[in-house]
Structure 1
């Protein structure tokens, strides 16, 4: 096996899987994480996307690690998911990470992935952070500096056998959708919304960013949104 892809079932990770498949063909596997999130819509989408690409999908449960977090995405939190853009949330929080930032989640995901990747003989881990998520310190574990540090740590800690590929770390979500559309990514199978309804809410930060990325490419998101105001 050549590559392991962290697959959440969203736009970014599904496009990263497509990029890895284009390079490595059948020598690709995927890994999804349960981390105590309030719903499992993304995990269901990850399974559908993995099936579409005919890749083996492993699933890990890291929920106990995040049991002490107050992140609004998690089951144990009393906070509602904000129904506002990331820019609005950052302004309100004075530049602190948004409430949907799960503390050091990408670091834990990547460390877990590194251990599994080594066991399967992989040489690279793909994951999908991008510039929009890192902007304004919304998600600090999506930044270029974080990626470089984790890449160095994983390379050294694996005995120089394993490295990271973050193909979108300097790109926007608009760029990702443009690339994914060319690669034929089945975006109708993906899920990004932080709410767990039958349809995406259209109001949370990730819904706003996702829809804007499609429209910036002259496209409509293949998922139908709930338009009325509601709470997650």
Structure 2
């Protein structure tokens, strides 16, 4: 069986940890990032730098044309990014309609073309409250489809599906990872805002691990 694996790599700290976990497991990694018109496209620049540094094959696929079909989210439309914690109802406007089903479908197609049996995806428990397409029932259903949609079955690997952001960070710190090479903030400015749901969750994770976030913040 091929040792190749496609890693859906946004440039954020979760997928950064997943990328390194796949490498640590000896996988021949093919990183895949998507420009879907997200306002925090700075994450793609970070992803490209990391992959170049690691010598990992990396594709950034421009699917921004489908932005017109995925409207209504503050990440892709002209809607203010809400501030506060993910548990707040206001955070639901950061949901991009059907995003992960679309991205995983393309990652599966890429895996089939490479004869790679696995797609790594960084869903985690901190996203379960707000994002339906990060929940275990979604992942398990997509995994079932990935097994029958092509002549070659593909497995969706989610090593942190039931882990918190803090637990992911702990795993990465144990691997000696440098999280200054990640971008989390939903606002793609020079510094992270420190107020959006993504920043709040990231800062909480670092606080849980009693360590300093290496990124600089506007607050």
Bucket of the pairwise TM-score, normalised by the shorter protein: over 0.9
Q: Work out the CA distance in 2 between the residues paired with 1:4 and 1:198.
A: 30
| 1:29 match: secondary structure | strand
Whether 1:99 and 2:100 are equivalent positions in the alignment is: no
Q: Verify: 1:199 aligned to 2:154, yes or no.
A: no
**Structure 1 residue runs of 4+, over 4 Å off?**
none
Unaligned residue ranges in structure 2 (runs of 5+): none
1:24 is aligned, of 19, 23, 26, to: 26
Q: Counterparts of 1:1-232 in structure 2 under 5 Å?
A: 2-25=4-27, 27-68=28-69, 69-74=71-76, 77-88=77-88, 90=89, 92=90, 98-135=92-129, 138-227=130-219
Whole-angstrom distance in 1 between the partners of 2:68 and 2:174: 40
CA 1:184–1:52 in structure 2 vs 1: closer, same or farther (change >3 Å)? farther
Q: Unaligned regions of 5+ residues in structure 1, if any? A: 228-232
Deviations 1:10-60 (A, max 9, x none): 0000000011001124x1110000001124210011112212322010111
TM-score, normalised to structure 2, is 0.94
CA distance in 2 between counterparts of 1:116 and 1:160 reads: 12
State the alpha-carbon separation in 1 of the partners of residues 53 and 179 from structure 2: 11
What root-mean-square deviation, in Å, do the aligned CA atoms of Structure 1 and Structure 2 show?
1.3
Partner secondary structure for residue 203 of structure 2: helix
User: Are 2:40 and 2:185, in contact at CA under 8 Å, matched by a contact in 1?
Assistant: no
Q: Output the CA distance in 2 between the equivalents of 1:101 and 1:4.
A: 24
**Across the two proteins, how many residue pairs are aligned to each other?**
216
Give the CA deviation at 1:156.
Answer: 1.0
Distance of 2:51 and 2:150 partners within structure 1: 26
- Contact 1:117–1:123 (CA under 8 A) maintained in structure 2: yes
| 1:107-134 Cα shifts (integer Å, max 9, x gaps) | 0000001111111111100010100101
